[in-house]
Structure 1
Amino acid sequence: MTFRLAYRFGCLLLGWLRLLARSSAAKDVEILVLRQQLAVLQRSSSKPAFTRGDRAVFAALIRLLSKRHRPALKLLVTPRTVLRWHARLVAKKWTYPHRGPGRPGKPEALRALVLRLARENDGWGYRRIHGELLNLGWKVATSTVWEILQHAGVDPAPQRTSRSWTRFLKAQATGILAVDVFHVDTVFLRRLFVLFFIEHGTRRVHIAGVTRHVTAAWATQCARNLLMGLDDRRTIGIRYLIRDNAGYFTEGFDAVFNAIGARVVPILPGVPRMNAIAERWVRSCRREATDRILITGERHLCLVVDEYTDHHNEHRPHRSLGQRCPDGVGEPEPPAVDGPSRVIRRDRLGGLIHEYAQVA
């Protein structure tokens, strides 16, 4: 028993002598390691549980000790485990987040705005929404709008194919003016007629008049009023007038345009696409305005058609114009938007039509 105590005392004495030979920094590190272990043991009930912070502290402190002193340190885990923790910390520091293949995702503000336009305007397709976004300053592709709508379960409008006559009209659009008449039935079952002209080059619409009975004299006078209301530059630029073969388009009506050097081109029988641009505007006017309002009379129809024509000329984007409105052709493009911004809405026809603008 005496020999065993003397042996233990001798071992302790040698250990103290070894500590005297070590630097104070090494002893301080060892004390910090032991204190950290005590904190872990006090926090745990049965089995020691190391948090990420504990592992980071142990890995950093063990690195400060020399390899010669590490085996002599009493640890709850082996030094190899602590060194493995340190290797993981180093790897995590220099590992950059993985980015999946393809382009970066669309901004959430853009997705919300596209879905808002689709929700508030059920008749708009993805190209119509794309034109509205360009007017608001969002520089996005039509495919982007299509993908957002598809992902949200909104069916985009189908794309229309172009024909040879359409390509011809596009090439000659600058000097072409088209005229047509469409009817609207009032709530009292009275039929009213609207005479309008549309410029192929700018898609600008001119409402010539509204009447209950279309006569040759009335149509001719409306043509004179139109030419007197246009400036000289637009009047001289008219080279062709496209019209149908209705009885109220007489020689007197044609003479009004022949006097300014324009050639009148009646559409051929069975070829309604020769006046497709005017017919397309009639469809838009019906779908977006007149078919959704109960017209009470001639004055009411004038107000509705004039309001929709202002929307068409001043705001509505057109694919043939690069998604610009007729009055916006030639004006500078709106500034690009790179992030979230405030968009305000203006209502026309009592909220039937919505127009959006970017707040500066």
Structure 2
Amino acid sequence: MDREIRDLIRQMNSANPLWGAPRIHGELLKLGIEVSQATVAKYMMRRRGAPSPTWRSFLRNQAEGIAAIDMFVVASASFRLLYVMIILGHARRELVRTAVTEHPTAAWLSRQVTEAFPWDTAPRYLLRDRDASYGSYFSSRVKAMDITEVITAPRSPWQNAFVERVIGSIRRECLDHILVFNERHLHRVLFSYVDYYHRSRTHLSLDKDCPDPRPIMPRRIGKVIAIPKVGGLHHRYERLAA
């Protein structure tokens, strides 16, 4: 193993303390560095703590026609509760839409679905939980778009596993490390994270590629540079031509 590669693994590990061996391995593959994930783990700095959970496969055969919607709560610095709505496409784990509000009414949620899916791009199925915010108005709008609602059982978040995993990633990789001041600030933070999520973050379920595929950069192009993302919480690594 070249010293340059060992140093790069440790540099990525130091600059991105939230990353594990799979994420660093994915970045190295995008830089044209062919090493095994076990080798990456060998040269990482040792930290205490439990390993990240694996991403369980869920409804894989019908992923193209499935989307999921869910909400989670973020407390601002002034202790106001802000509700974040996300719509996730299962095919390539893309965040189709994110939105923030203080009052998640059925009419507001319906409008988010309409704007997320123009009439000719609507998925066949939409997974959601039993939150009372959706209501009959939301169900009528979804039905008019020829989307079949799949409602999970009570207290069974594992039945909507993909979107729950994304919410966990947003919290662990972004919001748990940022103090949110207000709704506008939360919009900006989410916009920055979604851009990183789509264009830079490698995903285990996508063979360590991004929702927007990243090209592999051969080693002959030049040296490796780090590009800060999400305010420096994460980095994207590319090769810069000499």
Using structure 2 for the length normalisation, give the TM-score: 0.90
Distance apart, 1:279 and its partner CA:
1.2
1:307 aligns with 2:192: yes
Q: In the alignment, which residue of structure 2 is the partner of 1:158?
A: 51
Compared with structure 1, are the counterparts of its residues 335 and 355 closer, same or farther at alpha carbon in structure 2 (3 Å cutoff)?
closer
CA distance in 2, matches of 1:256, 1:344: 47
Q: In the alignment, which residue of structure 2 is the partner of 1:125?
A: 20
Q: In the alignment, which residue of structure 2 is the partner of 1:27?
A: none
SS in 1 for 2:141: helix
CA distance in 1, matches of 2:101, 2:228: 28
CA distance in 1, matches of 2:157, 2:29: 32
Compared with structure 1, are the counterparts of its residues 175 and 158 closer, same or farther at alpha carbon in structure 2 (3 Å cutoff)?
same
Distance apart, 1:256 and its partner CA:
3.0
1:218 aligns with 2:108: yes
Q: In the alignment, which residue of structure 2 is the partner of 1:245?
A: 130
CA distance in 2, matches of 1:168, 1:212: 31
Q: In the alignment, which residue of structure 2 is the partner of 1:334?
A: 216
What is the letter of the counterpart of residue 114 of structure 1? Answer: I
User: What's the CA shift string for 1:324-343, capped at 9, x where partnerless?
Assistant: 11011xx7x414437x9511
CA distance in 1, matches of 2:79, 2:136: 32
Moved more, 258-267 or 303-312: 258-267
What is the letter of the counterpart of residue 223 of structure 2? Answer: R
- Rg: which structure is higher? 1
CA distance in 2, matches of 1:128, 1:356: 12
What is the letter of the counterpart of residue 130 of structure 1? Answer: H
User: What's the CA shift string for 1:101-120, capped at 9, x where partnerless?
Assistant: xxxxx111111111111111
Structure with higher strand content: 2
Tell me, yes or no, if the aligned pair for 1:181 and 1:196 is still in contact at 8 Å: yes
CA distance in 1, matches of 2:143, 2:177: 38
What is the letter of the counterpart of residue 351 of structure 1? Answer: G
Identity of aligned residues (%): 36
The equivalent position to 2:75 in structure 1, one of 169, 182, 185, is: 185
CA distance in 2, matches of 1:157, 1:139: 27
Matches within 5 A, 1:67-82: none
Runs of 4+ in 1 over 4 A off after TM superposition: 154-157
Using structure 1 for the length normalisation, give the TM-score: 0.62
Aligned CA RMSD, in angstroms, stands at 2.2
CA distance in 1, matches of 2:92, 2:12: 25
Distance apart, 1:155 and its partner CA:
6.2
Tell me, yes or no, if the aligned pair for 2:30 and 2:217 is still in contact at 8 Å: no
Compared with structure 1, are the counterparts of its residues 114 and 154 closer, same or farther at alpha carbon in structure 2 (3 Å cutoff)?
farther
1:148 aligns with 2:43: yes
What is the letter of the counterpart of residue 299 of structure 1? Answer: R
1:175 aligns with 2:60: no
Distance apart, 1:171 and its partner CA:
2.4
SS in 2 for 1:359: strand
What is the letter of the counterpart of residue 217 of structure 1? Answer: A
Tell me, yes or no, if the aligned pair for 1:244 and 1:267 is still in contact at 8 Å: yes
1:116 aligns with 2:11: yes
Compared with structure 1, are the counterparts of its residues 159 and 283 closer, same or farther at alpha carbon in structure 2 (3 Å cutoff)?
closer
Distance apart, 1:139 and its partner CA:
1.9
What is the letter of the counterpart of residue 10 of structure 2? Answer: L
Q: In the alignment, which residue of structure 2 is the partner of 1:292?
A: 177
RCO higher in structure (CA 8 A, sep ≥6): 2
User: What's the CA shift string for 1:108-157, capped at 9, x where partnerless?
Assistant: 111111111111111111111111111222122212212222xx545696
What is the letter of the counterpart of residue 112 of structure 1? Answer: D
Compared with structure 1, are the counterparts of its residues 154 and 108 closer, same or farther at alpha carbon in structure 2 (3 Å cutoff)?
farther
User: What's the CA shift string for 1:263-314, capped at 9, x where partnerless?
Assistant: 1101112321111111111111112212211111111110001110111011
Q: In the alignment, which residue of structure 2 is the partner of 1:272?
A: 157
CA distance in 2, matches of 1:341, 1:109: 13
Tell me, yes or no, if the aligned pair for 1:207 and 1:306 is still in contact at 8 Å: no
What is the letter of the counterpart of residue 313 of structure 1? Answer: H
CA distance in 2, matches of 1:189, 1:110: 45
Q: In the alignment, which residue of structure 1 is the partner of 2:210?
A: 325
What is the letter of the counterpart of residue 69 of structure 2? Answer: V
Distance apart, 1:196 and its partner CA:
1.0
CA distance in 2, matches of 1:279, 1:245: 14
Tell me, yes or no, if the aligned pair for 1:215 and 1:248 is still in contact at 8 Å: yes
What is the letter of the counterpart of residue 140 of structure 1? Answer: V
What is the letter of the counterpart of residue 302 of structure 1? Answer: H
Structure 1 unaligned spans of 5+: 1-105
